[in-house]
Chains A and B, each alone.
Chain A
Amino acid sequence: MMALFSDHFLVQQSQQLSETGEWIANGFFYIIATVAVLAALKMVTTKNVVHAALYLLVVLGCVAATYIILGAEFAAATQIMVYLGAIMVLLLFGVMLTRAKIGNDTELDYDQRWIGALVSVSMLAVLSYSLFEYFEGATMPKNQKPQRTEEIALEIFSTYIVPFEALSVLLLAALIGAVVVARKD
């Protein structure tokens, strides 16, 4: 009797815990999404190239946090190492090497900004319509386990071994190509 009671109590407690956890995760998601969207908007409108790079950094960090909320820890770690570490440094090198004007630059945008805004807003409208149409009410599974790095490694090196090898060849070819294209001779 006692054991039954404690079992029941434990189940109830863990259910309560998972509900609170989901509530917290939801709150964090909305904060992160707001920050990311605002930073992205600043990134495409700012007049300063280096500021744009730093706003992009904020967006990429928020995307990594979203991966954590979704339980994809390895993707989050890769995002931080590859995007925030390597690609940002590459982009900043690009800014420096092309001697872009650092500081206010009024020559960054086309004059027909409203056409771009129109295209992107209508694209967002079409996407939102189809998302509402097909995924309305679809909820994430309860008590979601994080997808562990070990399982991902096993999956990559068994099922996805051919795409993985093709990808390594692609990366090598792209980097050699970049060196050849950018070489001074």
Chain B
Amino acid sequence: MFLNQFLFFAAILFSIGVYGVLTRKNGVLVLMSVELILNAVNINLVAFGAYKSDLSGQIFALFTIAVAAAEVGVGLAIVLLIYRNRRSIDISDSNMLKG
């Protein structure tokens, strides 16, 4: 098994996640695409950990999973707040900061 096959898999998932973040209007779908990006990073960490036979890779992947859980919690709370105030989670409508 090559190291590159895992890194490529992660790179493809990462690019798909970036595409999702850039093209989706719905706030929840943007959060899902961010999850895809975080997972791609985790694959990299675990693959390098296995490549070097080092535990740090897997431990950092676990830390990333915990941070992702926190991110989803706060992100969904913000999306709910936007929905409550504007009756829509279309993020292209959230342009009040524009002068």
Please tell me if the beta carbons of A98 and B80 are within 8 angstroms of each other in the complex. Answer: yes
Interface of B, secondary structure class, is helix
Q: Is A13 at the interface (CB under 8 A from chain B)?
A: no
Contact B46 A91 (CB under 8 A): no
A56 and B16 contact, Cβ closer than 8 Å, known pairs A94-B76, A144-B53: no
Whether a CB of chain B sits under 8 angstroms from the CB of A15 is no
Residue numbers in B under 8 Å from A167 (CB-CB): 63, 66-67
- A2: CB under 8 A from chain B? no
Give per-residue flags for B79-99: 1 if the beta carbon is below 8 A from chain A beta carbons, else 0. 111011000011010000000
Complex Cα gap A112–B24 (Å): 10
CB neighbors of A among B39-93 (8 A): 39, 42-43, 46-47, 49-51, 53, 55-59, 61-63, 65-74, 76-81, 83-84, 89-90, 92
Task: State which size class the interface on B falls in.
Answer: 35 or more
The residues of B with any CB-CB pair to A shorter than 8 Å are 1-9, 11-20, 22-29, 31-33, 35-36, 39, 42-43, 46-47, 49-51, 53, 55-59, 61-63, 65-74, 76-81, 83-84, 89-90, 92
Sample of 18 A–B contacts (CB below 8 Å): A37-B13, A40-B13, A49-B29, A56-B35, A70-B50, A72-B49, A72-B58, A87-B68, A87-B69, A94-B31, A98-B27, A109-B23, A120-B16, A131-B4, A137-B2, A147-B50, A155-B56, A163-B63
